[in-house]
Amino acid sequence: MKIICSKSDLSTGVNIALKAVPVRTTMPILECIILKATPNHEIRLIANDMEIGIETVVKGMVMESGTVALDAKVFSDMVRKLPDNDVNIEVDESYRVSITCEKAHFNLLGRSAEEFPGLPAVERERQIVLSQLTLKDLIRQTVFSISDNESNRVMTGELFEINGDGLRVVSLDGHRISIRRTQLKEEYPNSRVIVPGKTLIEISKILSGEADSDVVISFTGKHILFEMDGTLVVSRLIEGDYYKIDQMLSSDYETKLTVNKRDLLNCIDRATLLIRESEKKPIILTIQEGQMELKINTMIGSMKEDLDIEMEGRDIMIGFNPKFLMDALRVIDDETVTLYLFNPKAPCFIKDAEESYIYLILPVNISAAV
Amino acid sequence: MKIICSKSDLSTGVNIALKAVPVRTTMPILECIILKATPNHEIRLIANDMEIGIETVVKGMVMESGTVALDAKVFSDMVRKLPDNDVNIEVDESYRVSITCEKAHFNLLGRSAEEFPGLPAVERERQIVLSQLTLKDLIRQTVFSISDNESNRVMTGELFEINGDGLRVVSLDGHRISIRRTQLKEEYPNSRVIVPGKTLIEISKILSGEADSDVVISFTGKHILFEMDGTLVVSRLIEGDYYKIDQMLSSDYETKLTVNKRDLLNCIDRATLLIRESEKKPIILTIQEGQMELKINTMIGSMKEDLDIEMEGRDIMIGFNPKFLMDALRVIDDETVTLYLFNPKAPCFIKDAEESYIYLILPVNISAAV
């Protein structure tokens, strides 16, 4: 193999591939990145941790095709530290790798890529297209409420549900549900798949966040494939049935209130500094006559703060895990938020008028805390 | 006690005082910051870990004088998260503290400051004055080569040596010596003190780095006192005799070479990525006919790179711990550096013509590595 590419293109590609290199593995070959130069002049980097596989194209010239497996850590560190110029890579039949950039000259021992497990083939039948920005936002705005409890696999993923031209993304962890909806550019056949949270976190690091470049998502019963900017990410899907969340959603309420999002978030954030890690103290909201009082009482001390609100309906006092409120508020990009409450034991809904987002949060029993 | 000050002034002061709050201690009172409002309308924050003591003035209004000890972690977290506005602090006779900022209202329990150990009094007899920038630079450029081996206390500090209008700062760890010299604005009586490395690291975080604001340093036999911008830092000195370094310095050389500093540093940096943590591999410099070849051979692979140099004297091949070369090169702010070599077993000197800096580095035996 003999190729030339720029340090910056190579570095970008290696950083993408690294996201599928496992931290720990019993299969040493998975600690490698595969460098592949094809006879039709494409340079590809491939990595696979058996859950997620990534293949990405690097611009460059192929003088001689070939394939080699390179230790991902050594190769990525090296590429990062090369001078910002053209990089020459040559590999002989014994997988001796020689890398030259300006006057720097490295020799490494690579290995055969034979044992490396290829990426699963995914038929591109069921496909949807959305902008990279939209997908990145959808993930950011829901991924915090997946569960990290591996004993319930379904909860460690997110539901991607396609219904005509609507895409709904759902995550839940037993205490809260996060739902985001977006409109697709065209109609697609209805589908429901459960995508592992880990995949979404890695994908969201690769997505450029640009509104005018697209990502194409294909899925079969077992796999999901994301394609964007010359990069291809394949992941297993989580098998099983997702929760029937529609029956958990209700539009009944007794109290509706609107409040400035930043003020509410900052106030709860201040309250949490009175909580030591081991303590589970609720923040108590007393909603009365157009005012909301937030208060917290812990071993360290107490805090009380009033916020101006607009309200409809009955007065109420209700307690929440402050972290759950903050997680939801942080990913809502609106200036004000509206909360719908029913009674001190029923979930609180934070949602906008179009229900482009719904955050359901279960309250905490405060009879003891008051 | 009753005071008002701005959140930002209070926050700056608390961050300075925090540097003398110990991470672990057997004396719980040391985990506090003392807040003191004096009858002459000064607000002071005080912390002391028994090695370093800090006292800093916060601008504000004193309505009622008093003193209280506040848990440093809780108080600093709270101050950081307050809205950016005036902060009212009131403390009653039972040390109940009430902190109000805009609509946020905190209650905490403070404690008496009675058991808190005061800062040692340092007579301001032997004093020198230099700019904050100069002191910050001197520390940054030498502190990396103090030893962390507590069994040799003298090596964990830096020598501050005053000779007429010259200040020389020295650190050494048994493999290398770092020396920086600066000229003071006036003549002072000769003095030698050993300042703990930890003190210098904390001081350098507090120093503003401005060339036109000064720091006044006073010392007695046991303590050193730094005063700048309303902040006072007292530290114990290390007792004992410092090494006689002048007899280790030599101006003899057989080879003198000048090289671009950034090129040399980047080249060594690239070489180090072939070194696994446990390995101790030298970088080998072969200096010959106006060229310097750097090479390294490790379990991972090998690297070779040529650099252009200007040289005088004999050809030489010599090996170094690459980290020691990099540490020195990183803190030299010149575009080119000059190395003076004698033989493969004698130390290398990196110094400028005026000897405003001298970095002595011992070579590594490479007879086995070649």
The Cα angle at residue B359 between residues B349 and B161, in degrees rounded to 5: 125
Q: Which of residues 256-275 of B touch A (CB under 8 A)?
A: 266-267, 269-270, 273-274
Render pLDDT for B313-337 as a digit per residue (tens, 0 to 9): 999 999 999 999 999 999 999 999 9
Q: Give the pLDDT confidence score for residue B150 in this predicted structure.
A: 84
Q: What is the mean pLDDT of residues A117-133?
A: 92
Q: How confident is the model at residue B84 (pLDDT cuts 50, 70, 90)?
A: very high
Q: Residue B181 forms beta bridges with which residues?
A: B168
Q: How confident is the model at residue A256 (pLDDT cuts 50, 70, 90)?
A: very high
User: φ, ψ for residue B142 (rounded to 5)?
Assistant: -135, -25
**Do the Cβ atoms of B329 and B322 come closer than 8 Å?**
no
Q: Give the pLDDT confidence score for residue B147 in this predicted structure.
A: 94
Kindly write down the DSSP assignment for every residue of B91-102, as one continuous string.
Answer: E-TT-EEEEEET
The CATH number assigned to the domain with range A2-109 reads: 3.10.150.10
Task: Look at B303 and A71 and tell me if their CB atoms are within 8 Å.
Answer: no
Cβ-based contacts of B105 with chain A (< 8 Å):
303-305
- Select from A81, A108, A270 the Cβ nearest to the Cβ of B104: A270
Q: Which fold has domain B249-361?
A: DNA Polymerase III; Chain A, domain 2 (3.10.150)
Render pLDDT for B188-235 as a digit per residue (tens, 0 to 9): 999 999 999 999 999 999 999 888 999 999 999 899 999 999 999 999
- Select from B273, B302, B306 the Cβ nearest to the Cβ of A78: B273
How many CB pairs lie under 8 A apart between chains A and B? 73
Q: Give the pLDDT confidence score for residue B87 in this predicted structure.
A: 97
- Strand (E) positions, B197-254? 214-219, 223-228, 231-236
Among A286, A247, A64, CA closest to A295: A286
Burial call A273-302: b when 16+ CB within 10 Å, e when fewer: bbbeeeeebbbbbbbeeeebebbbbbebbe
Asked if pLDDT for residue A361 goes beyond 70, the answer is yes
Q: Where are the domains of chain B?
A: 2-109, 127-245, 249-361
Question: Is A139 exposed, middle or buried (CB count within 10 Å of its CB: 0-12, 13-18, 19+)?
Answer: buried
Q: Give the pLDDT confidence score for residue B158 in this predicted structure.
A: 98
Q: How confident is the model at residue A83 (pLDDT cuts 50, 70, 90)?
A: very high
SS3 (DSSP) at B237: coil
How many angstroms away from the CA of B316 is the closest CA of chain A?
21
Q: Give the pLDDT confidence score for residue B9 in this predicted structure.
A: 97
- Select from B83, B109, B306 the Cβ nearest to the Cβ of A301: B109
Q: In terms of CA atoms, which chain B residue is nearest residue A103?
A: B305
> DSSP character for A344?
T
How many angstroms away from the CA of A224 is the closest CA of chain B?
36
Render pLDDT for A49-77 as a digit per residue (tens, 0 to 9): 999 999 999 999 999 999 999 999 999 99
Q: How confident is the model at residue A141 (pLDDT cuts 50, 70, 90)?
A: very high
Q: How far is CA A34 from the centre of its chain?
A: 25
CA distances from B15 to A11, A276, B27, B76, B206 (A): 39, 21, 21, 7, 9
Q: Give the pLDDT confidence score for residue B368 in this predicted structure.
A: 58
Asked if pLDDT for residue B278 goes beyond 80, the answer is no
Q: Which secondary-structure segment (H or E) carries A329?
A: helix A322-330
Task: Look at A301 and B105 and tell me if their CB atoms are within 8 Å.
Answer: no
Q: Is the pTM of this model over 0.80?
A: yes
Output the CA torsion B262→B268→B273→B277 (10° steps). -120
**Do the Cβ atoms of A37 and A3 come closer than 8 Å?**
yes
Render pLDDT for A283-302 as a digit per residue (tens, 0 to 9): 999 999 889 999 999 988 99
Asked if pLDDT for residue A370 goes beyond 60, the answer is no
- Is residue A103 less than 8 Å (CB to CB) from chain B? yes
**Do the Cβ atoms of B74 and B21 come closer than 8 Å?**
no
Output the CA torsion B231→B232→B235→B241 (10° steps). 110
Q: Residue B170 forms beta bridges with which residues?
A: B159, B179
CA distances from A352 to A173, A248, A267, A333, A340 (A): 22, 18, 21, 11, 10
Q: Do domains B2-109 and B249-361 have the same CATH topology?
A: yes
- Is residue A343 less than 8 Å (CB to CB) from chain B? no
Q: How confident is the model at residue A367 (pLDDT cuts 50, 70, 90)?
A: confident
Give the integer Cα–Cα distance in Å for A46 and A35.
7
How many angstroms away from the CA of B192 is the closest CA of chain A?
42
Task: Give the Cβ contact number of residue A360 at 10 Å.
Answer: 23
Give the integer Cα–Cα distance in Å for A305 and A292.
8
- Select from A74, A105, A307 the Cβ nearest to the Cβ of B300: A74
Q: Is ipTM strictly over 0.90?
A: no
Task: Look at A273 and B82 and tell me if their CB atoms are within 8 Å.
Answer: no
Task: Look at B301 and A273 and tell me if their CB atoms are within 8 Å.
Answer: no
* Interface-testing mutation among A109, A273, A277, with chain B (most B C-beta atoms within 10 A): A273
Give the integer Cα–Cα distance in Å for A111 and A32.
9
Task: Give the Cβ contact number of residue A369 at 10 Å.
Answer: 14
The CATH class for the domain spanning B127-245 reads alpha beta
Asked if pLDDT for residue A219 goes beyond 60, the answer is yes
**Do the Cβ atoms of B301 and A107 come closer than 8 Å?**
yes
Q: Give the pLDDT confidence score for residue A112 in this predicted structure.
A: 96
- Select from A83, A107, A266 the Cβ nearest to the Cβ of B302: A107
Task: Look at B81 and A273 and tell me if their CB atoms are within 8 Å.
Answer: yes
Task: Look at A105 and B307 and tell me if their CB atoms are within 8 Å.
Answer: no
Q: Give the pLDDT confidence score for residue B290 in this predicted structure.
A: 85
Give the integer Cα–Cα distance in Å for A309 and A260.
8
**Do the Cβ atoms of A337 and A264 come closer than 8 Å?**
yes
Q: Give the pLDDT confidence score for residue B102 in this predicted structure.
A: 92
Q: Which of residues 164-183 of B touch A (CB under 8 A)?
A: none
Cβ-based contacts of A97 with chain B (< 8 Å):
301
Task: Look at A273 and B105 and tell me if their CB atoms are within 8 Å.
Answer: no
- Is residue B370 less than 8 Å (CB to CB) from chain A? no
> DSSP character for A111?
B
Q: How confident is the model at residue A368 (pLDDT cuts 50, 70, 90)?
A: low
Q: Give the pLDDT confidence score for residue A221 in this predicted structure.
A: 87
Q: What is the CA radius of gyration of chain B?
A: 25
Q: In terms of CA atoms, which chain A residue is nearest residue B266?
A: A81
